[in-house]
Amino acid sequence: MTGTNDVYGVGEREAAGSALIEAYERGHNLGDWRPIHERMRIASCRLCGCLLWIVRPPDKKTWRAGGNALNAD
Ligand SMILES: [Zn+2]
């Protein structure tokens, strides 16, 4: 099951992009991504200070988004 594609990092832009869009649709205005470490980026909202992050678990090749910027309300 070892692929030859360089999948590392490929999912990062997609995860970050869709997370920003999702937060924007909820009325947030996220600033720049700040790297926390190699597997985590955080952006904060300019309006309310809520947080959006993307993380890549050590055993995964895909990124996932989280944070209260994605919550309703
Ligand atoms: Zn906000």
Domain boundaries, the chain: 10-70
- State in Å: Cα 23 to ligand 1 middle: 8
CA 32 from centre of chain: 11
Residue 27 has pLDDT above 90, yes or no: yes
Calculate the average pLDDT of the chain: 86
Residue type (1 letter), 40: M
Distance from the alpha carbon of residue 36 to the mean position of ligand 1, in angstroms: 20
pLDDT (average), residues 14-34: 95
Q: How far is the CA of 49 from the centre of ligand 1 (A)?
A: 6
Strand partners, 30: 45
User: What span, in angstroms and rounded, lies between the C-alpha atoms of 58 and 54?
Assistant: 13
| Each residue's pLDDT tens digit, 36-53 | 999 999 999 999 999 999
In the predicted model, is pLDDT for residue 29 greater than 90?
yes
